[in-house]
Structure formats: structure tokens, C-alpha cells
Chains A and B, each alone.
Chain A
């Protein structure tokens, strides 16, 4: 039975594809985007997390750990020895305060389906379904492929949010079964791709061109581009729009505003060097309008160029 590490199953998602959806967040991502909004999705292992603000420093967890992975550290807070922890969850179960949590769970396709199909009623009335997100869901393509095939058999619409920074075979596995690809392109500037995301951008780019070709005219592809304060400018947005139009002039480019809420997650995870920790708002409406204008202009020019 195929399984995967999932860090959240979010019901009533309204922004991850058509209708009312359940979004499944898979752990693990080949990229390290500097602005990453789901830091718990970065690595593919399961880790024990402590929420200091909830902890009563009672030490009960330390006493029950069967693997000696916990000890009382400074200020009475438990400390986990990551190498010893087997993520068995005994301490989590023991903690009355809900101060300990594993940041992911291993789920079989079967178990995941049981969970997501609960909202079938809502999918039906809204034209919604299930979206796989992450992390990079296509890094666990086998699991996603199996899950979406099963969902299709249940007549549930499926979508995937992906950066396409995975081997083409992974994409191919899911390609016939996924109702909608929500592709996140990271930057138009290939020279900066590694600096911003930690990986070379050429693979994702090539995959995008192939995917766009395969899905041309189907409406099953949406391209999104997240704007990041201090990084994205109008020039780059124009470049991105031109690039997308050069791949397939019919493709729309959806601009996504930076989401400042992620800073809270980093704080909770105890990550102190998040670059955008103090960035409490995204771009203003006026700025977004300017970006959108840049997209329209670039597309119009590209369309003209095509005609000539």
C-alpha cells in the first residue's frame, strides 16, 4: 500500500481550484524558496514539535518517552534528541496541554481517501474536489497518482499545486488523471532561480513547456506567480508574462499576492532567520493593479508579435 507523509488536510479550502475543496499538504520539497509559506512542508521527514507557549513544563512527556529521546532542557522545557526520536507519538498522546505535535503523519491512500471523501457532498454541490499541495506533491508522485485515480473513480475533481521542479516522469505519472494543474512559476530570471529557490530553474521550465503542450486547449492548466516584496518588480512580472505567452499564448497568468501570515508559522517552529518575518502585509491593491497591468501589456505585445 502506497503511503506518504502528509502535514495537513485542510477542508473548506476556497482558493485552491474550483469549488469547495479539501487540500492535502504533502511533506517534502526539492526547492528552498526564500519566502516559503509552508515551512513545515519543506523536509519530508516527520519531526516532533513543541509549542512553548502551551507547555506547562510538567515533564510528563520526558517520563514516558520509550526511546529516551526527551530530556528537560533550559527553562524546564522538554528537548528532543532528533536522532533518538522515532516519532512514535507516545509523548504527544501523553501531553495534556496539546503542546507537542508531530508535524506530519504517514497516511496510506486508503486512509487519506476515507478522510477526504467526507466532504463529497460539498464537492458535488460546488464543483469542488481535492487539491494536492505541499511541499511539492509531485515529489511523491506515486502516491498522488494512486490517490487521484481513486478519486476519479469516485467522480471527485482533482487538482495539484506544483512547481514542476521534479523529474518529468513524475509529472507523466499523474498527467492523465489530474483535473487541474496549478503551476507555480518562481521567477522569470533563470540566473536568479538558484539564488531564490535553491535549485536550477531549467528542469521546471522544460517541464512547464512540455506540460503546456500536452494540456494545450484543455483548460486544465493554470499558471500562477507569487509576488514577493523586495524581490518581484514590474519588469520581472512582464518577463514572466511574456515567457508564459511564448509557451502558449492562450495561457493566463494569475498573480498571487505575498501572504504575510507564514511569519507566524516560522515563529512557532522556532525558526528565527525567516527573511520576511517582519513583513506584515503583501502588496497594496494599487501595486497589484500595476502588476496586473504589466501582465496585460506584455500579453498584448506578445499577441501582436504573433500576428506579425
Chain B
């Protein structure tokens, strides 16, 4: 069968009822906090007090793999989880304990990402777990050793990875699938035999220990599946198959497509058991699963229908592991995103088009299931097949924001700029939400910190004093009232950035050092090149690439603020700078006219006004230049990202009134590259051109642009073709990333309520355009009614 025929077949596939049942069973199960692994780990640590940390960590993981209660849903095609229930919030005492002590009572009722707590677990936690780890967990050690710096800069810089392991890694899944734990253990034993360095020998011993336990973990699933098969004649066939797969994978690499998917899933389960971190991502699964897929299809062992069912079974599994964050962090990253990011399409290591049947199959999974995980990313490049671009457009039109779109044409050069080799750069993948990484050889530390430039600007205008509570937190660099020229503002801004920047780096170095000390990760190291070859743990710099990413927040607000200052205060002088400063201090109380002038009389980022957009670029570049001069604790480079995910809300809550007319504590622009809500009024092409003026090479750690469209854009084939053309333009404009939200009924209702945030939302019909928020109420209602019927 030719590839085109197969793709035609895929287009027609429907979802099998089994998948619907598995999905429903998963969604209906309540989420619980789980102490089981924490109890095992604590016990192992206590028993092996004198062992070095890496050995304790390996023993603890091995024990968990052998002892954790396991379960299988009788209809499952792929098995495995880190708790017997699904979506358990695992307590991970090695990394974070104090926050759980503080928040355990409110976990079930907190507004964001609540978890139920079983009766007795609060006592059990405080009795058996807390006393041992108090003062020893990563969180407590960081607090003790770096807390002063972290707190002193907290309003400007959020230093991350303080109470959990790092994650944000694309493991070498291809190698894992090829060799399995048994094959990797052989490699580790051979390497140990060849070394005389005791530290390396210990590293290899740990690797073997966890890999052997991984094989046992698989065997336990094989046994369980087999015993269930005897009891469930209705599911016997699939359970026997699962048992055979697990049995085989304990001893060797995967041979069939089904085995390869099962192997991939085990890899992520075990990584989560070891690290309990967000954003271990499968990466380019359409590439490394393809050989198995193609072989099985060619031999007739597999049909595309079966292949889709297996992939969809994996899609359901990706939603079964969730990540329990502290309440503060959950407000930054709402919806327990665990960051299983899968990238489809793009280029091969040699620069050819890599799109294959699995790329289409994965899009189909997304279309059918529309679950939060995995986070599906489509890689596009100038040579992407038209059919693939159209298919992406079609699935985007279904809503749900996926696939999000990444641009090879800008990302590959951006990564190369960070010293990534050609082939590795072309083989990039995405971890978590939008973080860019090479595959299988990088500890990218992509969420080292978020730097709030808008807060730094606030301090620059107010002599280093916080507008929210009058506390001095930055150096005294003068205040707006005294600045005679626009350049004076820039100088003060620079000084504030520099001050917090240096302290941030200090904290980042400390955090990485403590991770290395407390959370060496033997299992993870076996699937990140070149750790196994060199006998160096991944936290100690064993990876081929050792980047650290810091987010610059938020380009749009900076551009809008500085544009207003430059134009209205310093050029036209229609606003007095003292009066403005006073107004900012009072949050514009009694100065609504002035605020309106700032809003309406200065151009805004996102409207294709070059000089404004270039302000954003200037400060992003300034920050990124500073970063790129430094070396991180693992000997790698720092680079910058331009994304916030949902952090624009809490970060904005921390910033006083700003000269762009934004009131105190209001959210910043969303995304990272987006315009401030409701300020891009010239449509999507203008916004894209604005965004393209911010050098995408400065977003090598990842960027995020959100765009909104009404469903009617996707209503006809012609509309989908035009949208696909928009994607092509996005590629040509060399913007790293864009995610499209198809506006639904709820959102239009929100627009009715908060018209100022949705001013850019347009309804386009032939020969006529209207802004939604300017329509009369009854017409808005009419559109809302139609939208819910998919007509608009």
C-alpha cells in the first residue's frame, strides 16, 4: 500500500468504542493524593542512611518499582502507571515536603487543581514522612541555602525548580525502545567493566540497579495481566497480549508497533517515578515509532485501524499521570499540565521532510480524543507537504488549541546559535508546553527562572521602590519625575535589570548545585546521551547539551509602556512626567482621562507599527545578550525564552500601574509574544508581522503566541485552505511558535462581559467587518447562538 493511500485511509478512521470507554473510566475516577511511594522511599532512605545519595536514590526507585501496588483496567491495550489508581498526585518527599505540610488540608478544596486526601493520610504523612525529610528535602535545603537571595528578588524574578526535580527532558526513547532495560543494563555493565574510576563505577552500579528493577516492574505487569485474563474471558485476548508484551520487554527491545508503544509508555511511567517532575516529553514519536509501524503494516500484522486504536490507547494513558504542584505554582501552571509533548512532522536530521503516516495518525488521535494530554505540536517548514498543513489547519479548526505550530525555519537556526549541531538542531522536539529541546541528549533546564521585565520597569520609574507597598526592593536609580530624556528612563531600566539579573544567576547556580547534590537520577541518565557513555549523572552535566533557559516577561507590555513614555511624555509632551508618576502611584485614581490618553494616543505592540515592535525586540535582545555571555553550573549555556503559559496572571498581580494604561495588578499580556488583551486591532496579519520583529533567535528556549479565531473561518474547505496559507506565512515570517484558539460560546459571553479585553475580535463577512464588542447586544447574542451551532 502506498503512503498516500494509507493517509487516505487514516482520514476515514473512526474511534473505536473501547477507547471511549477507557477515556470515560479515566476521567470519572477521582484524583487522590498518594503517599505510597513516599512511604517506600522514606523507608529505604532510613535503612540505608550511610549510602551515598545516588545509591539511596537508586535503591528507593528500585524498591518502588518492585513494591508499588499496580493495577490494570481489563480493557487496556497498554498498561502501566505509577499508582494503582489513575491521576494520583504523588507525594515526592526527596524534593518537596514543607509545602505539602502547609497545604495538605487545603489540597481537596483549593481553587486550582484540587486533590482528594484519603482519611488517615494527613496523620500518616505527618507521622511517617514529614519528620524524616524535614530539613532534608530539596525544597528545605534550597530554602536554607539560597532562600535569602530567592526572596530578595522574588517580586522581579521567579526562580523555579525549587521543590521538585527538573524534568523538561526528551529522553532517548528510540534507544530505550531498541534496547529495553535489559539491553541498557548490558551496556552499563560493560561500561563499568571498562572503568577504573570509583565514582563512575558507582554510577553504573546505580544504573544497573534501576534497570533491573525496571525489568521486574514489567514482569509484575505481565503476571497481573495473565492472572486477570483467567478471570475476564471477555478481555482475555487483549490481556494475554499485554502480558506477552510486558514479558518480552523485560528481556529485550521492542519488535512490534504494539510493543514499541508499550515500551514508550513504561519509559515515561518510570521517569515519573524517579523524578516526579513535569514535562518529560515523548518528542518526535512519529519518527522513532515509524520503523515498527511500517514493518508491521507491510507484513500485514497491523492494520491502520489497529494502529490508531493503539495510539489512542497511548493518548488515554498520557492523561493518567498528573502532577501535583503547590498552590502557588498551580496558579502559574493551571490544569496540572504534565507536559507530555509530542511533535509531529518537521524535518529529518538531514533536512528532508519527515512527515509520515504516523504524523497524520497522531493528528487523528487529537481530533478524536481532544484530551489535555499529550500536548500535540506540529512542526512546519517551507517544504512541509500541503496535505499535512491542511490537515493541521482542519484539526486546529476543531478547537482545543491543538496542534500548536512550531516553525523549523526559525527554530533550527536559533538552536544552532546556541551551539547545537546541525543534525541535533533539525531533530529538535518540544518539552512541556513550548520549550524547545534537542532529543535524547539534553538537560535543557528550560524553566530555570522567569524574569519580570515589567516589574523592573516599574522600579525604574519609581526609584527602585515597589508601587504596591512602598518597599524599596531595587537600587535607587531615580524616578520618572526627574528624568529629562527618554534615555534616562532607559538607563534606569537597564540598571534595574542588571541588579536583579546578577542575583538571579546566583540563585540559579545554587539551585542547580543542590539538585545535583540531592537528586542524582540514575534511570534518567540511562536515556540521556552521553551520560551512560561517560559515566556521569545527568544532573552533574552528563548530557551532551546542558542549557539553562530563562524567560523574559513580557515583551508586549514593555513595548506598550515605553512607546507611551517616549511618544506622549518625551516627544509630544502631552503628558507631564510628574503627573504621570503620581497617577501611577495612585493607580490612576482621579486620572482616568490621563489613563485613556495613554491607552488611546500611543501605538501598541501587535498592530504592525515597526518602531513600537522594535522596542520589544530591543529589550529582549538586551536581556538575552547578557544571558548568553554566561556559563551555567553544568558547564552549558544560558539562553532566553519568551513564554509564560498562564503565569501572566500572577506575574501581573505583582506589578503596579504601568504607563501603558494598565491598572495595578492586572494581568500582563498572555502567552509571551502576544499583544496585550484587546490591543491588537489590525487583525492576524498585522499581529504576525509585529511578532516577527522580535528576533526569534532570542527565543531559542521557546516562545508562545496565542491567536484567536472564530469557528466560521474553518467552516468551509476554502476557509481551511486560507488558514493553511496563513500557516505558510507564519513559517515564512520566521516566528517560532503559534497556538490557535477557536473562540467558543463561553468566550464570546466573556467578550460581552469584558469588551475591553476582546476589542480585536472581529467578525468577517463578505465586504464587511465588525468588531464583536462593538455590535449591539442582540446581534452579539445572535452570533453567540450561531457559534454554539458551529455556524460562525
Are A38 and B767 neighbours in the complex by a CB distance under 8 Å? yes
Residues of chain B within 8 A (CB-CB) of A14 are 713, 719, 722, 764
* Residue B274 lies at the interface, judged by CB distance under 8 Å to chain A: no
Residues of chain B within 8 A (CB-CB) of A12 are 683-685, 764
* Residue B726 lies at the interface, judged by CB distance under 8 Å to chain A: yes
Residues of chain A within 8 A (CB-CB) of B764 are 12-15
* Residue A267 lies at the interface, judged by CB distance under 8 Å to chain B: yes
- Asked if A161 meets B767 with Cβ closer than 8 Å, knowing A20-B726, A121-B732, A126-B729, the reply is yes
Cβ-defined partner of A98 (8 Å) among B600, B685, B689: B600
Which stretch from A102-110, A167-175, A188-196, A257-265 is at the chain B interface? A257-265
* Residue B775 lies at the interface, judged by CB distance under 8 Å to chain A: yes
- Asked if A265 meets B770 with Cβ closer than 8 Å, knowing A12-B764, A260-B779, the reply is yes
Are B768 and A37 neighbours in the complex by a CB distance under 8 Å? yes
B466 to chain A, nearest CB (A): 28
Q: In the bound complex, how far is the Cα of B780 from the Cα of A281, in angstroms?
A: 11
Chain B contacts with A in 748-792, Cβ cutoff 8 A: 763-770, 774-776, 778-779, 781-782, 791
Are B776 and A125 neighbours in the complex by a CB distance under 8 Å? no
Are B725 and A20 neighbours in the complex by a CB distance under 8 Å? yes
- Asked if A264 meets B776 with Cβ closer than 8 Å, knowing A97-B596, A125-B732, A281-B782, the reply is yes
Are A133 and B767 neighbours in the complex by a CB distance under 8 Å? yes
* Residue B68 lies at the interface, judged by CB distance under 8 Å to chain A: no
Query: 1/0 contact trace for A184-218 toward B, CB 8 Å?
Result: 00000000000000000000000000000000000
* Residue A2 lies at the interface, judged by CB distance under 8 Å to chain B: no
Closest residue on chain B to residue A285 by CB atoms: B791
Residues of chain A within 8 A (CB-CB) of B594 are 96
Q: In the bound complex, how far is the Cα of B770 from the Cα of A37, in angstroms?
A: 11
Residues of chain B within 8 A (CB-CB) of A264 are 770, 774-776, 779
Chain A contacts with B in 254-299, Cβ cutoff 8 A: 256, 259-265, 267-268, 280-281, 285
Q: What is the interface size of chain B, counting residues whose CB is below 8 A from a CB of the partner?
A: 40
Are B722 and A20 neighbours in the complex by a CB distance under 8 Å? yes
* Residue B686 lies at the interface, judged by CB distance under 8 Å to chain A: yes
Residues of chain B within 8 A (CB-CB) of A43 are none
A159 to chain B, nearest CB (A): 11
Q: In the bound complex, how far is the Cα of B686 from the Cα of A96, in angstroms?
A: 24
* Residue A122 lies at the interface, judged by CB distance under 8 Å to chain B: yes
* Residue B544 lies at the interface, judged by CB distance under 8 Å to chain A: no
A269 to chain B, nearest CB (A): 12
Q: In the bound complex, how far is the Cα of B593 from the Cα of A118, in angstroms?
A: 33
* Residue B608 lies at the interface, judged by CB distance under 8 Å to chain A: yes
A220 to chain B, nearest CB (A): 18
A63 to chain B, nearest CB (A): 14
* Residue B472 lies at the interface, judged by CB distance under 8 Å to chain A: no
* Residue A119 lies at the interface, judged by CB distance under 8 Å to chain B: yes
Chain A contacts with B in 1-52, Cβ cutoff 8 A: 8, 10-16, 19-20, 23, 37-38
- Asked if A260 meets B782 with Cβ closer than 8 Å, knowing A11-B686, A15-B765, A96-B600, the reply is yes
Query: 1/0 contact trace for A77-115 toward B, CB 8 Å?
Result: 000000000000000000011100000000000000000
Residues of chain A within 8 A (CB-CB) of B774 are 264, 268
Are A96 and B685 neighbours in the complex by a CB distance under 8 Å? no
Residues of chain A within 8 A (CB-CB) of B307 are none
* Residue B601 lies at the interface, judged by CB distance under 8 Å to chain A: yes
Residues of chain B within 8 A (CB-CB) of A267 are 776
A278 to chain B, nearest CB (A): 8
Q: In the bound complex, how far is the Cα of B778 from the Cα of A96, in angstroms?
A: 29
A20, A96, A98, A285: residue with the most chain B Cβ atoms closer than 10 Å: A96
Residues of chain B within 8 A (CB-CB) of A280 are 778-779, 781-782
* Residue B682 lies at the interface, judged by CB distance under 8 Å to chain A: yes
Are B686 and A127 neighbours in the complex by a CB distance under 8 Å? no
A15 to chain B, nearest CB (A): 4
B719, B721, B725: residue with the most chain A Cβ atoms closer than 10 Å: B725
Q: In the bound complex, how far is the Cα of B686 from the Cα of A56, in angstroms?
A: 30
Residues of chain B within 8 A (CB-CB) of A56 are 592-593, 596
Residues of chain B within 8 A (CB-CB) of A125 are 725-726, 728-729, 732
* Residue B597 lies at the interface, judged by CB distance under 8 Å to chain A: yes
* Residue B733 lies at the interface, judged by CB distance under 8 Å to chain A: yes
* Residue A58 lies at the interface, judged by CB distance under 8 Å to chain B: yes
Chain B contacts with A in 470-499, Cβ cutoff 8 A: none
Q: In the bound complex, how far is the Cα of B601 from the Cα of A260, in angstroms?
A: 32
Closest residue on chain B to residue A119 by CB atoms: B685
Are B766 and A16 neighbours in the complex by a CB distance under 8 Å? yes
Closest residue on chain B to residue A23 by CB atoms: B767
A239 to chain B, nearest CB (A): 22
Q: In the bound complex, how far is the Cα of B763 from the Cα of A204, in angstroms?
A: 30
Residues of chain A within 8 A (CB-CB) of B713 are 14
Query: 1/0 contact trace for B712-746 toward A, CB 8 Å?
Result: 01000001011001101100110000000000000
Are A256 and B779 neighbours in the complex by a CB distance under 8 Å? no
Residues of chain A within 8 A (CB-CB) of B781 are 280
Residues of chain B within 8 A (CB-CB) of A263 are 776, 779
Residues of chain A within 8 A (CB-CB) of B689 are 118-119, 121
Residues of chain B within 8 A (CB-CB) of A281 are 782
Query: 1/0 contact trace for B120-149 toward A, CB 8 Å?
Result: 000000000000000000000000000000
Q: In the bound complex, how far is the Cα of B784 from the Cα of A280, in angstroms?
A: 12
B600, B713, B733, B769: residue with the most chain A Cβ atoms closer than 10 Å: B769
Residues of chain B within 8 A (CB-CB) of A38 are 767-768
Are A126 and B765 neighbours in the complex by a CB distance under 8 Å? no
- Asked if A121 meets B729 with Cβ closer than 8 Å, knowing A14-B713, A15-B764, the reply is yes
Chain B contacts with A in 48-89, Cβ cutoff 8 A: none
Q: In the bound complex, how far is the Cα of B712 from the Cα of A259, in angstroms?
A: 14
Chain B contacts with A in 696-726, Cβ cutoff 8 A: 713, 719, 721-722, 725-726
A24 to chain B, nearest CB (A): 11
Q: In the bound complex, how far is the Cα of B775 from the Cα of A281, in angstroms?
A: 13
A119 to chain B, nearest CB (A): 5
Q: In the bound complex, how far is the Cα of B770 from the Cα of A261, in angstroms?
A: 7
A23, A125, A268: residue with the most chain B Cβ atoms closer than 10 Å: A125
Closest residue on chain A to residue B765 by CB atoms: A259
Q: In the bound complex, how far is the Cα of B768 from the Cα of A264, in angstroms?
A: 12
Are B683 and A261 neighbours in the complex by a CB distance under 8 Å? no
Q: In the bound complex, how far is the Cα of B766 from the Cα of A11, in angstroms?
A: 13
- Asked if A261 meets B767 with Cβ closer than 8 Å, knowing A12-B684, A20-B685, A268-B774, the reply is no
Residues of chain A within 8 A (CB-CB) of B729 are 20, 121-122, 124-126
Residues of chain A within 8 A (CB-CB) of B733 are 121
Are B596 and A11 neighbours in the complex by a CB distance under 8 Å? no
B592, B733, B767: residue with the most chain A Cβ atoms closer than 10 Å: B767
Cβ-defined partner of B601 (8 Å) among A23, A96, A127: A96
Are A96 and B779 neighbours in the complex by a CB distance under 8 Å? no
B305 to chain A, nearest CB (A): 34
Instruction: A98-B600, A259-B765, A281-B782 are known; give 6 further A-B pairs, CB within 8 A.
Output: A14-B719, A20-B722, A96-B596, A121-B729, A128-B722, A256-B766
Q: Chain A: residues with CB nearer than 8 A to chain B? A: 8, 10-16, 19-20, 23, 37-38, 56, 58, 96-98, 118-119, 121-122, 124-128, 133, 161, 224, 256, 259-265, 267-268, 280-281, 285
Shortest 5 CB-CB contacts between residues of A and residues of B:
A126-B725, A15-B766, A125-B728, A96-B597, A12-B683
* Sample (23) of A-B pairs whose CB atoms are under 8 Å apart: A10-B769, A11-B686, A12-B684, A14-B713, A14-B722, A14-B764, A15-B766, A15-B767, A16-B766, A20-B725, A58-B593, A96-B594, A118-B686, A119-B689, A122-B685, A122-B725, A122-B726, A126-B726, A133-B767, A263-B779, A264-B770, A280-B778, A280-B782
